[in-house]
Each structure stands twice: as C-alpha cells, then as structure tokens.
Amino acid sequence: AQRFWWPTVSSDVRAFVSSCPVCASVKSPRTPPAGLLQPLPVPSRPWSHIAMDFITGLPNSKGKTVILTVVDRFSKMVHAIPLQRLPSAQQLAEVVVRHVFRLHGLPENITSDRGPQFVAAFWKEFCRLLGITVSLSSGFHPQTNGQVERFNQDLETTLRAMCLKNPQTWSSQLPWAEYSHNTLVNSTGFSPFQAAYGYQPPLFPHQERSASTSGPAAFVRRCRRTWTEYRSRLVRNQERFTSVANRRRSAAPEYKVGDRVWLSSADLPLKGGARKMRPRFIGPFPITKVINPVAVRLELPRALRVHPVFHVSKLKPEKLCPLQTPPAVPPAPRIVDGGPVYSVNKLLASRRVGRGVQYLVDWVGYGPADRQWVPERHILSRDLIDQFHREHPTQPRRPSGSRTL
C-alpha cells in the first residue's frame, strides 16, 4: 500500500480478497481438482458387482440403435447387448435377466449413472426384491462409473475400425468385438475370460491344450486358485493407479453439514446470457448431508432442476472474512392480493409457449440459479416488457392488440 499500512495489512488483504463473493463466482480454479481417488472395493468373485451404461447415437443396424454395456467389476468381462432403443426401466429389467442374470446369477451390487432407467421407482424396487444394492454416480461425475465408461470408449473405437466401410453392419460385428475384449490379456496377466472361468479360450482349434487334470474338483480348485491370484494382482494394480492418479489431485476440505460451498456451473443448465459471460460458480449453498469423503448433498433452489449430490471436485468452500461485507440476504417478497410478489431485476429472453409468451426473469437479490421462465401475465410492469423488446426487437412477443392468455 502506498498511503496506508498496519501490521497485518498483507494477511488482511489476502483474507479480504479470498472471501470476495464476486471473485468466488467469476474466477476459474487454478488448483488441481479436489478429492483424492476413492476406488470402489475390489470384489472377491466374478459377477458379484457389475456396472452398466448405454452407448447411443449409433446408425440403424438391423433395427438396433443402442448398446447396453455390462461390465463385471472383478474380471472386467463384458456383455454388449444391442437394443432397438433406450429401454424403459421395466424393459431394462427384462434384458438383464435374459442376458446377464441367466448366465451369471444375481449380483450383489449394480453401479450406474443417473439415467432415467436407473433412477426409476420400478428399477429400484426390482433390485430391492432381488436383494441387489444400487450405486448411482454423483452429479456430473462419470468417473464414478469409470470402468464401463472406459470400455464404451474402447468398444466404439473397435466398432469404428471394424465397420469403417459400412457403419450399418456394427450389430453383426458386435459379438466379435465383445469376444476380442474378453480374451485380451490385460495388465494383471489374465484375460477377463480367464479371470472369470479359470482358463484362456483358444483362438483356433489347433491351439487347444490337453488338460492335465479333469473332473469338477480339479475345476473348482483351478478357479479358486485363479481368482485368488487374479484378485491380488487387481489390488496391486488399483493401489498403483490410485497413487499415480492422486498426484494430479488435491485433498478435499473436510466438509460438515451446514458448511456453505460454491457450486461449479460448468455442467448446470443455467439460462440466459452468453455462456462466456456466465459465472463460473453459483451459490453459496449449504451442505445438508455428507455422503462420503468425496460426495455431499446440497440444498439447491427449486428452479435448479438437477440432482443435489455432487463430487467435491465440483465445489469450493465459502471463505469468510470479518472485513468483508456479508452477502446480502435475498429480499422477502411483497404480499399483493394475498400472494407473494418478487421484484424483477431484468428480462433476459423470451419464447413462445403455445399461444402465449414467456420471459426469462432475473430476480432482484437472487443469483443465476434462480432465474425462471415466467408467463407474460405474471409480469406486472408493462414498461419492463416494452423496454425489453426495444432492446431486443427480434425476440418473440405477443402480437399487438392480442389478448394476454
């Protein structure tokens, strides 16, 4: 400071700047993502813990446009099941019974994203009745279901190479792509097929080796020996991968219920304004539940229609400083004719809905997460609407002389 000084000026300035709500809202983080890797526990046998996902956007191939991918988290064995379209929850249950449970028995746990099939009440009740626990990924964090996401990438690349000249034949090539993955030896020294069944299938008949032992007892011993050795290698690989991954991450703060955090807006459906000019973080919002060391539940505005559980890499803690002016509390609504009335800061956009028009409203004292589409009849100030259309003459509006719906 050129004109002022006091003994703690440096620390006070740092604290003041770090607690600035405007800076917290608009600045992108420059630190490694928060949250050390929390790998899922390694199962003790094949097909006890599975993961599911869909591959969409494929060309029509014999009436199929979607692939359901199912990955065994122990052996990494997969099933790629072609479907006509994205299934409903009931259709998904029928598919997994026919193509997975029939072959491998009932799993103990199913990991998936938060697609509509997996959060449907039918799917949850179906799994509950079968004694299967359901694990859903946190909001906008597909790494939770990383094993199946990685296989999807590999499968898409394989099909692209196999069907380069005729993409519509992918459904015919899918069984060979699945077989190729399941017989490929990975970093554990085993193939998924060998980890699941205790032997490596030959590619050609003349490669078949004569078995040194026979009988069910020998088969069981061989499987148990394979599973024990494979699991130990899997654990070592997981520890090595976790160590490497955590070099590019930082430990997350130890959040508690009641703490307030800023939420990254990168994946949120915020409305209005150019994307480049939108805030990088919104909030702060209070934490209502700590799910685990890397996932928390937030109390979000009703206008923000997203699942409230987020990975800590999407958050940053609110920093407080006694020198900083506390954030303004949103003003209470006025009561007019027995109902609440909120003040409009600005109209951001308009759209036609049926025979009427709606306006995207930015409210006084509220943040971007609270913006809402409001019917024209709910906006009491005609001057506000006229000013918006003078500034944005190309935006949809109600024809002059027509009656407000």
pLDDT of residue 293: 82
Strand order in the sheet with 295-298: 309-311, 295-298, 281-292, 260-264, 315-317
Q: Are 344 and 379 in contact (CB under 8 A)?
A: yes
Same domain membership, residue 178 and residue 315:
no
pLDDT of residue 331: 60
Identify the band that residue 208 occupies on the pLDDT scale cut at 50, 70 and 90: low
Query: Range of 310's domain?
Result: 254-322
Of 79-93, 157-171, 270-284, the poorest mean pLDDT is in 270-284
pLDDT of residue 99: 95
**pLDDT surpasses 70 at 219:** no
HSE toward the beta carbon, residue 151, CA cutoff 13 A: 29
Same domain membership, residue 265 and residue 233:
no
In a domain, 28, yes or no: no
> Can you list the positions of beta strands (E) in 293-385?
295-298, 309-311, 315-317, 334-336, 339-341, 344-353, 356-363, 372-375
In a domain, 352, yes or no: yes
Q: What is the CATH number of the domain that holds 177?
A: 3.30.420.10
Q: What is the dihedral of CA 117, 294, 152, 248, to 10 degrees?
A: 160
Same domain membership, residue 168 and residue 82:
yes
In a domain, 387, yes or no: yes
In a domain, 19, yes or no: no
Same domain membership, residue 284 and residue 172:
no
Residue with the bigger pLDDT between 275 and 103: it is: 103
Exposed, middle or buried, 134 (CB in 10 Å: 0-12/13-18/19+)?
middle
Distance CA 262, CA 315 (A): 6
Could you report the per-residue pLDDT of 128-168, keeping only the tens digit for each? Answer: 999 999 988 766 666 666 778 888 888 888 888 888 888 89
Same domain membership, residue 346 and residue 301:
no
Distance CA 278, CA 38 (A): 32
Same domain membership, residue 276 and residue 223:
no
In a domain, 201, yes or no: no
Same domain membership, residue 183 and residue 269:
no
pLDDT of residue 18: 78
Distance CA 41, CA 239 (A): 11
Identify the band that residue 5 occupies on the pLDDT scale cut at 50, 70 and 90: confident
pLDDT of residue 371: 82
pLDDT of residue 94: 95
Among residues 293, 322, 351, which one ends one of the domains? 322
Identify the band that residue 226 occupies on the pLDDT scale cut at 50, 70 and 90: low
Q: What is the CATH number of the domain that holds 386?
A: 2.40.50.40
Tallying the residues shown for the chain, one arrives at 405
Could you report the per-residue pLDDT of 294-321, keeping only the tens digit for each? Answer: 888 898 877 677 878 888 888 888 887 7
Overall pTM > 0.85: no
Stretch 281-296: mean pLDDT = 86
Q: Are strands 133-136 and 109-112 parallel, antiparallel or unpaired?
A: parallel
**pLDDT surpasses 80 at 377:** yes
309: Cβ contacts below 8 Å, ≥ 6 apart: 138, 139, 291, 295, 296, 297, 298
Stretch 236-261: mean pLDDT = 78
Distance CA 168, CA 289 (A): 48
Provide the b/e sequence for 240-270 (b: ≥16 CB within 10 Å). eeeeeeeeebeebeebeeebbbbbbbeebeb
Could you report the per-residue pLDDT of 24-44, keeping only the tens digit for each? Answer: 777 777 777 776 666 677 788
In a domain, 34, yes or no: no
pLDDT of residue 9: 83
**pLDDT surpasses 80 at 68:** yes
Stretch 231-246: mean pLDDT = 70
Answer whether the bond into residue 43 is a cis peptide, omega within 30°: no
**pLDDT surpasses 90 at 222:** no
Residue with the bigger pLDDT between 287 and 240: it is: 287
Same domain membership, residue 126 and residue 98:
yes
Q: What is the CATH number of the domain that holds 292?
A: 2.30.30.140
**pLDDT surpasses 90 at 233:** no
3 state SS of 188: coil
Same domain membership, residue 88 and residue 236:
yes
In a domain, 4, yes or no: no
Distance CA 73, CA 107 (A): 11
In a domain, 330, yes or no: no
Same domain membership, residue 344 and residue 265:
no
Q: Which two tokens stand for residue 279?
A: 């805030």
pLDDT of residue 401: 55
Same domain membership, residue 234 and residue 108:
yes
pLDDT of residue 333: 59
Residue with the bigger pLDDT between 235 and 190: it is: 190
Provide the number of structural domains found in the chain. Answer: 3
Same domain membership, residue 240 and residue 110:
yes
pLDDT of residue 86: 93
Of 133-147, 273-287, 342-356, the poorest mean pLDDT is in 133-147
